[in-house]
Amino acid sequence: MKVSMKVNGRQVSGEVEGRTLLSAFLREGQGLTGTHIGCDTSQCGACTVHVDGRQVKSCSIFAAECDGVEVTTIEGMANADGSLSAIQQAFQDHHGLQCGFCTPGMVMAAAALLKENPKPTPAEVRDHLHGNLCRCTGYHNIVKAIMAASGQDVPAMAAE
Amino acid sequence: MPKDGIGASLARREDKRFLTGTGRYTDDINLHRQTHAYFLRSDVAHGTLNGVDTSAAEGMEGVLRIFTAKDFAAAGGLPCGWQVTDLHGKPMQEPKHPILAEGKVRHVGDPIAVVVAETLDQARDAAEAIVVDIAELPAVVDMKAAVADGAPKVHDDLTSNLCYEWGFVEENREAVDKAIREAAHVTTLELVNNRLVANPMEPRVAVGNYDRADDEYTLYTTSQNPHVIRLLMGAFVLSIPEHKLRVVAPDVGGGFGSKIFHYAEEAFVTWASKEIGRPVKWTSSRAEAFITDAHGRDHVTKIELALDADHRFTAIRTDTYANMGAYLSTFAPSVPTWLHGVLMAGNYTTPLIYCNVKAVFTNTVPVDAYRGAGRPEATYQLERVVDKAARELGVDPAELRRKNFIKPEQFPYATPVAVEYDTGNYHATLDKALEMSRYADFETRAAESKSRGKLRGIGLAHYIEACGIAPSNLVGQLGARAGLYESATVRVNATGSISVLTGSHSHGQGHETTFAQVMADMIGIDPNQVHIVHGDTSKTPMGMGTYGSRSLAVGGSAIVKAAEKVIAKAKKIAAHLMEASEGDIELKDGQFTVAGTDKSVAWGDVTLAAYVPHNYPLEEIEPGLEETAFYDPANFTYPSGAYVCEVEVDEGTGKVEILSFTAADDFGNVINPMIVEGQVHGGIAQGIGQAMLENCVYDENGQLLSGTYMDYAMPRAMDLPDFAVDHSCITPCTHNPLGVKGCGEAGAIGSPPAVVNAVLDALNRGGYAVAHIDMPVSPARVWQAMHHAK
C-alpha cells in the first residue's frame, strides 16, 4: 500500500507492507538513518521520533498508521542554518554522548520533555528518560545537558 | 593548562554527526544490489544435528541460497587468540569452533543454517520453513556439574568439559597453604561474579562485499579492532591474503569488549558475498545479540584471606570456576588467567598468593572479555573478602585497607603474582574518596535515615587494574597468539594540517578529539588542524584496536613516537631555512626558533618546504614529512582508585536506593578531563548494573531466561544517582611518553564491591548479621537475606 506523510517538513511517500514499521520506512524507505534500532521489544528508545508533535517510538507504530501525519526525526532538529539546536548544543557542551547510538532518541525525548515541562527537576528528567537506554554515559551528563538546555544550572551535578 | 591541548576538556568534534543523525553506523551502510542474511539458530542447548531439510525454503519468494555447515568444509574454524598452558604444563583443550554447527548444536543460539534473500523479511520467512532434526541431549549448565564424573560432554572429542586447570603461582602453592594453616585469622568467602550481557546499544552488523574485477573482499563490521579481524579471518578462516581483504569498522555504537571477537557472521557474509556474487548484509536483532554476542564474567570463586595478629594480610588463596561457554571465543582463556590471577595482590602487600582457575565448557553462549575482563572479578573477590575480614575482626574497613596498602615509597613494587606496579599512591586516593563522600560524618546521616525508617549503609572498595595491554614478548610467553603493540602514521600535509592514521579505534571514547589534542600539543598548533583517521585497514597501519583501556597508553604513545620523528625532521628543515644548526632549533606554539635569537619560521612554512623542496637540504634528507611508529609497551599500566557507595535499604521490601557514589581515581596524566569523567560515569553505571540489576540466567536445560530487555534489567536513568568523580590524585605512568594509565574500565571494576559492601553495611547496622549476598543484590535477595538472618 502507498503511504504519504510529511517528514522534517518535506512531503514524502512510499510503498509499504502492512507490517512495515515507521522506523523501517524512515531508515530504508527514506534513507534517514539517524533513527536507530537498538532492540526488538520497544524498550531502548533509540528509535524515538515525534509524530504530530508527540514523542513516539517509531518501532512501535506501523508506517501505514502514519498516513497524513507530520514526523520529525533527529535529522530535522538542527536550526535552519545547520547550526545545532539548543538541546543538541547542550549535549555537546556537556559530553552527553559517547558512542552516539542512543543520542537521536535522547535528543527527541529531551525535546518532547522540555516542550511539556520547560523547567524540569533532575528527578523529572531521569523519570522522563525511563524509555531511553544508554550504555555509555551512565546518564549523568545526559541529565546535565538537558538541565542546561532548559536554562537551569545545576551546580550540584558538577560534583567533579 | 593550555586552552585546547593536553589537559583541556575540549568538546568533541565527532558529536556533530552523532547529534544530527549523520553518523555512519554499519547498519546505515547499504550497498548496491545487496542481499540479506538471516541465521537460523538452535533453540535447544545441546543436541545431535541429524539433518537440516531446506527443501521447502529453497523455492520461497526472494530466496537466493541457503547455507549449512557442508558449504564451509574448506574453511577453517573461528580461531582462539590465546593458548593457556595448564598447571601440568599441557596446552588447554581447544575444540573446533565451526562457522555453522557441525554434527551438534552446543548452545541456544548456535547457528545452523543461513538464508540469503532479497529482503530480510523474505529470508526470515524462509528460515521458518527449514526443518531441523535435532536429537536433544542433556545439557550441562552448572560448571561444577560439567566437570563431575559422567557429565555429558559439550565436545565429544575432548577428554572432559575442563578446558584447563591453571595455577598461579604454582611454585608458591605449598607456602600459601602453610600460611593459611598457621594464620591467626582466616576469612573465607564464596562468591559468584554473575554472568552479564554486554548490550552495547548498537547490535552487531556485518556487510560483506566481494569485488570480482579485482578479486578483493571488503567487510564492514561493528568491530573494536578491524585489523585483528582481517588477520584472524583472512589467515585462519577464509584463506584470503591480507592485501585482498579490507575490513572497515565505521562508526560503532559501543562495544565494551563484545565487539572485539571474530564472529561467525563476519566470516559468513565475507565468503557468501563471493558465492552469491552480490553484497550480503546481516543485522543482529537484540534477541539475537543475547544468544550470540559473547557474554561476560561468570566466575564462581572461593577466596581465603589469612591475617596475622596485627591484621596484616599474610596469604591469599583462591579457587575459581570460570565459564567458557560452549566454544572458545577469541580471547576467552586469557580473561580468568592472565587478566585475573595477576591482580590478586590488589593494592596490598600480601606476600603469598595462589590462584587456581578451572575453565569449563558448558552448553551456554561463549564467554569472553567484558569491560574490565578479569579485573572486576579479581577486585570483587579481594574487596569483598577484605570487607568481610574487617567485619569479623571488628575493625574499620578503611583502616584495614590502609594498614595493608603498598606505600608510595615502595614503588616500583614487585607483586608475588608476576606483575610490577610502576607508581601509585593508594593512601591518597582512599583519603580523597573518604573526604569527598564525607565518610567521617556517616553516623549522622545513618541516624537521619533511621528516623525515616530506613537502613543506611556505606561501603568502600579500592581497586587496581592492569591495563594498557601489553608488552608483546611477555604476553607471547603467556600464550597470546598476537602482539599487542599499537601504531600511528603522522602524515603532515603541505599546508600544515596533519592526518594521524591510528591503529586504535573509537566507538565512544572520543579519540578523534583526544588524539588530535595529543598531536596538536606536540607542535603547538590548533587541534582543528589535526584529523584522526581510524577504523579502516586500507588506510591505517596495523593496530590491535581498542579495549583494555589501552588506546591512550599504547595508541597515544605510538602517535607521540611518530610525532617525535616528524619533529626531528622538521627541525632539520627549519635549521636549513634559518641557516642555523639543528641543535639550536626549538619548537613552541607552532614556531621554530633559533635559541637565543629572534629568528623564527612557522610550522606551515616548514611543512610547505618539505613538499615544495626548493630551499631544502636534499642531499641530507628526503622531501616529504610523514612518519610511522609502532609502539610496544614496556609494561602494563596500573590505574587505581577508591570508590565509596552510600545506600538506603527499605526493611519492608528489601529495595536498595543508591544515595551517592564517589570515585577517586589515579589515571596518571589526563588528556581530556571531560572525556575521562564520562568514561568513569559509564563504567560505574555498568558496575552498579552488575551489582543491583543485571543477571544473565539459564535454566537447567540451557534455555536462556533473560533473553530480551523485558527480562534483563538494563540500568535506566532513574536507577542511578549523580556520580562524584575525581582524578586529581596523579602518579604518572613511568614507562610511556604521555605518563597516562588509561581510564576506560575503572568504573566497572571498582563499583560492584563498593555497592555490595554498602548494602551489607546497612543490613548489619540494622541488626541483620548478613555475611554476603550474591549479585545482583535485588530486593528479593536482600529481603531473603534479612529474614534468614533473623
Assess if CATH 1.10.150.120 describes domain A86-151. yes
Amino acid identity, residue B352?
A: L
Cα–Cα nearest to B285, from A59, A48, A17, A107: A59
Confidence of residue B525 (pLDDT cuts 50, 70, 90): very high
Same-domain pairing of B569 and B665: no
Q: Is B630 exposed, middle or buried, given 0-12, 13-18 or 19+ CB atoms closer than 10 A?
A: middle
Average the pLDDT over B632-653 and give the result: 97
Q: Is the peptide bond before B175 cis (omega within 30 degrees of 0)?
A: no
Same-domain pairing of B435 and B542: no
d(CA B258, CA B293): 6
Q: Could you say which of B631, B650, B669 is where a domain stops?
A: B631
**B-chain residues near A100 (CB < 8 A):** 14-15, 17-19, 23, 251, 253, 508
**Reduced DSSP (H G I as helix, E B as strand, rest coil) percent helix, strand, coil of chain B, to 5:** 30, 25, 45
pLDDT greater than 90 at residue B543: yes
pLDDT at B697: 98
pLDDT at A160: 36
pLDDT greater than 60 at residue B1: no
pLDDT at A158: 44
d(CA B714, CA B410): 42
* Residues found in chain A: 160
Report chain B's mean pLDDT, rounded to a whole number. 97
Q: CATH number, domain at B655?
A: 3.30.365.10
pLDDT at B51: 96
- Alpha-helix residue ranges (DSSP H) falling in A20-121: 22-24, 86-93, 103-116
Give the residue from chain A lying closest to B26, CA to CA: A33
Q: Give B134-184 pLDDT, tens digit per residue.
A: 999 999 999 999 999 999 999 999 999 999 999 999 999 999 999 999 999
Same-domain pairing of B363 and B429: yes
Q: Give B442-484 pLDDT, tens digit per residue.
A: 999 999 999 999 999 999 999 999 999 999 999 999 999 999 9
Q: Could you say which of B268, B292, B316 is where a domain stops?
A: B292
- A92 and B254 within 8 Å at the Cβ level: the answer is no
- A160 and B286 within 8 Å at the Cβ level: the answer is no
| Cα-to-chain-centroid distance, residue B513 | 21
pLDDT greater than 90 at residue B789: no
Tell me, letter by letter, the H, E, C secondary structure of B271-287.
HHHHHHCCCEEEECCHH
The DSSP secondary-structure symbol of B658 reads E
Q: Which domain holds residue B281?
A: 17-137+201-254+259-292
- A95 and B674 within 8 Å at the Cβ level: the answer is yes
The residues, any chain, with a CB within 8 Å of residue B526's CB and separated by 6 or more, are B4, B520
pLDDT greater than 70 at residue B694: yes
Q: Give B409-451 pLDDT, tens digit per residue.
A: 999 999 999 999 999 999 999 999 999 999 999 999 999 999 9
Same-domain pairing of B692 and B735: yes
At CA B353, angle to CA B351 and CA B354, rounded to 5? 160
End-to-end CA distance of chain A: 55
d(CA B379, CA B643): 12
The domain A2-76 is placed in CATH, from the list 3.40.630.30, 3.40.50.620, 1.10.15.40, 3.10.20.30, at 3.10.20.30
Residue B557: CB atoms within 10 A of its CB come to: 28
A138 closest CB neighbour out of B18, B19, B682: B682
Per the CB < 8 A criterion, the answer to whether B342 and B418 are in contact is: yes
What is the percentage of chain B residues whose pLDDT exceeds 90? Answer: 99
Confidence of residue B4 (pLDDT cuts 50, 70, 90): confident
A138 closest CB neighbour out of B251, B285, B684: B684
The residues, any chain, with a CB within 8 Å of residue A131's CB and separated by 6 or more, are A43, A45, A48, A57, A109
Cα–Cα nearest to B480, from B556, B345, B369: B369
Same-domain pairing of B785 and B717: yes
Q: CATH number, domain at B130?
A: 3.90.1170.50
Same-domain pairing of B460 and B509: no
Complex prediction ipTM: 0.97
pLDDT at A155: 61
User: What is the enclosing helix (H) or strand (E) of B781?
Assistant: helix B779-789
Confidence of residue B2 (pLDDT cuts 50, 70, 90): low
Same-domain pairing of B678 and B719: yes
In a domain, B764, yes or no: yes
**A-chain residues near B720 (CB < 8 A):** 126, 138-140
User: What is the enclosing helix (H) or strand (E) of B605?
Assistant: helix B603-611
Average the pLDDT over B386-394 and give the result: 98
Per the CB < 8 A criterion, the answer to whether B113 and B57 are in contact is: no
In a domain, B752, yes or no: yes
Q: Could you say which of B292, B312, B341 is where a domain stops?
A: B292
How close is the nearest chain B Cα to the Cα of A68, in Å? Answer: 24
Same-domain pairing of B405 and B323: yes
Q: Give B316-333 pLDDT, tens digit per residue.
A: 999 999 999 999 999 999
Asked if B199 is an interface residue toward chain A (Cβ–Cβ < 8 A), one would say: yes
Which of the residues B12, B124, B201 would you substitute to probe the A interface, choosing the one with the greatest number of A C-beta atoms within 10 Å?
B201
- DSSP letter for each residue of B429-461: HHHHHHHHTTGGGHHHHHHHHHHTTEEEEEEEE
Q: Give the count of domains, chain B.
A: 3
Same-domain pairing of B313 and B412: yes
Do A86-151 and A2-76 fall under one CATH topology? no
d(CA B759, CA B644): 12
HSE-up of B452 (CA within 13 Å, CB side)?
10
B681 closest CB neighbour out of A41, A122, A141: A141
Residues 287-316 of B with CB under 8 A from A: 287
Same-domain pairing of B311 and B276: no
Residue B597: CB atoms within 10 A of its CB come to: 10
pTM of the model: 0.97
Cα–Cα nearest to B509, from B460, B476, B449, B555: B555
**φ and ψ at residue B433, rounded to 5 degrees:** -65, -40
pLDDT at B316: 98
Cα–Cα nearest to B655, from B790, B781, B752, B788: B781
Same-domain pairing of B581 and B649: no
Same-domain pairing of B220 and B275: yes
The residues, any chain, with a CB within 8 Å of residue B295's CB and separated by 6 or more, are B195, B196, B197, B198, B325, B364, B365, B366, B367, B368, B370, B696
Print pLDDT tens along chain A (160 aa): 999 999 999 999 999 999 999 999 999 999 999 999 999 999 999 999 999 999 999 999 999 999 999 999 999 999 999 999 999 999 999 999 999 999 999 999 999 999 999 999 999 999 999 999 999 999 999 999 999 999 997 665 544 3
In a domain, B589, yes or no: yes
Number of cross-chain residue pairs from A and B with Cβ atoms under 8 Å apart: 188
d(CA B775, CA B695): 8
The ranges assigned to domains in chain A are: 2-76, 86-151
The residues, any chain, with a CB within 8 Å of residue B490's CB and separated by 6 or more, are B498, B499, B500, B519, B559, B562, B563, B565, B566, B626, B627, B628
